[in-house]
Amino acid sequence: MRKAPFRIAVFASGSGSNFQAIADAVKAGRLDVTIELLVCDRPQAKVVERAREAGIPVFTFNPKEYASRQAYEQEILRQLQDKQVELVVLAGYMRILTEVLVEAYWGRMLNIHPSLLPSFPGLHAVRQALAHGVKVTGVTVHLVDGGLDSGPILAQRALAIENGDTEEDLEKRIHPIEHDLYPQVIQDIVQGAIDLDRIAKDHNSTIDRMNNP
């Protein structure tokens, strides 16, 4: 078992309550990682304040100042490599990723999504679940591939939708589940209970079989 803590980066765009949950778990000794960097595309976002308070280095950028998505992702990739980041944790990062980051971190990049994927990918997942009238929804942590919330699933938790629930009611119940689940999944990765190498390899073989039947 390795001694050095895992080096992670968190990407977020907004409030950053999931970032906070991860930072708190590290501080409390429940999560054996170091957060090397917060990456944020909105310099005014609350998550930036949270990172500064926690003493975590921040890289903010304005996408409009770059010629392309690939251009800012190259810059992010340089920063991640500089800090020898091993695992990228997306936590409410609202930008579509390109092959620059997806390929560099395939099998080493996670996302959390507020539905039981593959149901309701994309924006407003909670609203989509309510609009469909499903009785159960939940939270998914998955590996990031090139698609929309489509990579291999690592963990899920379900919750019941009660009659009369609003989007706000549901979000209030989903958030604490996320805050509990995400640090736990990361710790499972650190301890080898979730084997990302195997999961990524199995996924690659499945895709190969589908392409060459």
Q: Which residues bind ligand GRF (CB under 6 A)?
A: 12, 14-18, 91-92, 112-114, 178
Residues 94-107 as b or e (16 or more Cβ within 10 Å = b): ebebbebbbebbbb
Q: How far is the CB of 200 from ligand GRF (least distance, A)?
A: 21
Q: Which is nearer to ligand GRF, 16 or 183 (CB)?
A: 16
Please give the Cα distance from 105 to 145 (Å, whole number): 9
Q: How far is the CB of 45 from ligand GRF (least distance, A)?
A: 8
Q: Which is nearer to ligand GRF, 63 or 192 (CB)?
A: 63
Residue nearest ligand GRF, CB atom distance? 92
Q: How far is the CB of 105 from ligand GRF (least distance, A)?
A: 17
Structure tokens at 78: 């340089």
Q: Which is nearer to ligand GRF, 13 or 98 (CB)?
A: 13
Strands 87-90 and 109-113: parallel
Give me the catalytic one of 113, 132, 175, 179: 113
Residue 167 C-beta-side C-alpha neighbours within 13 Å: 9
Annotation marks residue 113 as catalytic: yes
Strands 136-143 and 109-113: antiparallel
Q: What are the catalytic residues?
A: 113
